Amino acid sequence: MTELFFFAGSQNDFEHQLDSISIRDSITHGALVSPIRAVFATIFLSVLCGGCQRAESVESTAASDVKADVKADVKADVSTPKRAESASMAKPKNENDKGSRVSLVYSPKYTIKLGGLEKLHPFDIAKYDKIHRQLISDGVIDEEATLEPLPLTDQGLLLVHTADYLERLKVRKNIAHYLEAEMLLAVPLSLEKHVLQPFRLASGGTLLAARHALEDGIGINLGGGYHHAKPDIGEGFCAYADVPVAIRKLQGEELIKKALVIDVDVHQGNGTALCLADDDSTFTFSIHQGDIYPIPKETSDLDVEVRAGDGDEQFIATMEQHLDDVFARADADICFIVGGCDPLAGDPLASLEMTHEGIKNRDAILIANCVKRKIPVVLTLSGGYSQDAWRAQYLSVRNLIETYGMKK
């Protein structure tokens, strides 16, 4: 999930805006700005000078990229790009395992680029790219091993979102409001191209990962998991409800009947719960910290709270306690995991104490539970705001690839 902050004005105005953002965020994701406002403002103004000077060249070079990505017809939602012939360099640990394999979905165009201004936000916008590059650098995958998705079209999004909401997303101030970043109003670039299109592409990645999970057993999208987006509004740095859209697409094509969503991001999947409410064909299970955003919470089919200070042992034990019941009640044809790594110790938007090893084990347990039940499973990466969040998810994804191997 991505939020970006931008501002043009005097330093006094900037600090005043920072105060209002801090107050508002105390009831959303928490304090997202540095308490040392003068230092932050100085950094911001220096980046702004260089960033906006580069904006024209960024706009012109990105225009051709976006034109190549965006497909106007519905085929963009349903087509499956050709798989690269070379597969992972990693071999499954169990060579006799003829079952599930990993399909990895990613595009470098998931990354939001706004002339350098995106670097001001505490979320590491390059997280997904770092994971992908490290997998290649360490010889876990070949460069051509990943599948590149197409962006969702309006027709696909309308399976979950209202037409009025998509129309409102054409207005700059609405995008800034839904992403809780009014400073986007000052960005001299197209927010459709540079913000919404990356969201649409990463959301398309969740759908593509699901299609391949149905074939290969395990689909991993190095992005997605925008679990705060609701049918008629975006919030919590989420514009589109990628998991509910993927479920509705697969149901509409009669590829699945029932779907399970297991959300282990530290924040409740309130948007997912609302998008899939009162629906016997889906089951939503969210395990999250109870005393943080969102407040108030929506109602999932099963909500389980953990407490500030809980670490690997408590989180995983609580999760495992409910898994047999969740799988039995869901009776699902596919499982989506919203695998945020913001339960990590030191995350600025939460106060759990999980480790890298704990995140890796958490994901491995969930995937193994799906594999042994022969349920196709999709992993999305969702949130995570600490400096080493990318590393935790890299280790998790690497472990899954080395455990199950890549589909050839």
Strands, sheet with 259-263, edge to edge from the N-terminal-most edge strand = 101-105, 217-221, 377-380, 334-338, 259-263, 282-289, 302-306
Nearest Cα to 383, choosing from 368, 373, 393? Answer: 393
In whole angstroms, what is the distance from residue 204 CA to residue 18 CA? 34
| The residue to which tokens 């360490």 are assigned | 138
Distance CA 120, CA 4 (A): 7
Phi-psi region of 176 (alpha: psi -120 to 50; beta: other; left: phi over 0): alpha
Q: Provide DSSP, 347-365.
A: -TT---BB-HHHHHHHHHH
Which of 228, 267, 288, 356 is flagged as catalytic? 228
Question: What distance in Å separates the CA atoms of residue 92 and residue 406, rounded to the nearest whole number?
Answer: 8
d(C-alpha 206, C-alpha 242), whole Å: 6
User: Which is nearest to 62 in space by CA: 131, 109, 12?
Assistant: 109
Is 322 catalytic? The answer is no
Whole-angstrom distance, CA of residue 371 vs CA of residue 361: 15
Q: Pairing mode, if any, of strands 101-105 and 302-306? A: unpaired
Integer CA distances (angstroms), 178 to 141, 166, 192, in order? 36, 12, 13
Cis preceding linkage at 122, omega within 30: no
Q: Which ranges of 121-196 does DSSP label H, i.e. alpha helix?
A: 127-137, 154-157, 163-168, 172-178, 191
Tokens of 109: 């165009």
**In this structure, what token pair is assigned to residue 126?**
């390059």
Q: Which residues pair with 354 in a beta bridge?
A: 344
Q: Which residues are catalytic, by number?
A: 228
